[in-house]
Structure formats: C-alpha cells, structure tokens
Amino acid sequence: MRVQDGALALREAGHEVYTPGLPGIGERTHLTSPQVDLTTHVRTHSCLAPGTH
C-alpha cells in the first residue's frame, strides 16, 4: 500500500492525516546538506505530535 492510499483510507474513515515531507528527501531534496540527519527530521515534525502546539 502506498502512503497516499493509506492516507486516503484514513481520511475517508474520518481521521485527520498528515503526510509531511522530510528535509533532503523527495520534493524537499533542495534542502539536502551534511547537517540534515535524523535529529533534523525529528525536530521538523515534532510539532505535529499531539499536545506539542
């Protein structure tokens, strides 16, 4: 199952779904640099976790 298919199925079931990109990957490849690592990805997306806004 592709991410898009899973997201669509969840949305159709009434769930709120986010499919964020990662810096340096996919449509965000222009952000690639030696400084981009797992910590970068966690910090970039930690704001999406419930209770962190």
39 vs 44, more confident: 39
> Is the predicted pLDDT of residue 35 greater than 80, yes or no?
yes
Identity at 38, one-letter amino acid code: L
> Is the predicted pLDDT of residue 53 greater than 60, yes or no?
no
- Measured distance CA(52)–CA(41) in Å, rounded: 16
Q: What was the pLDDT predicted at 25?
A: 76
Q: What was the pLDDT predicted at 44?
A: 79
- Measured distance CA(6)–CA(15) in Å, rounded: 11
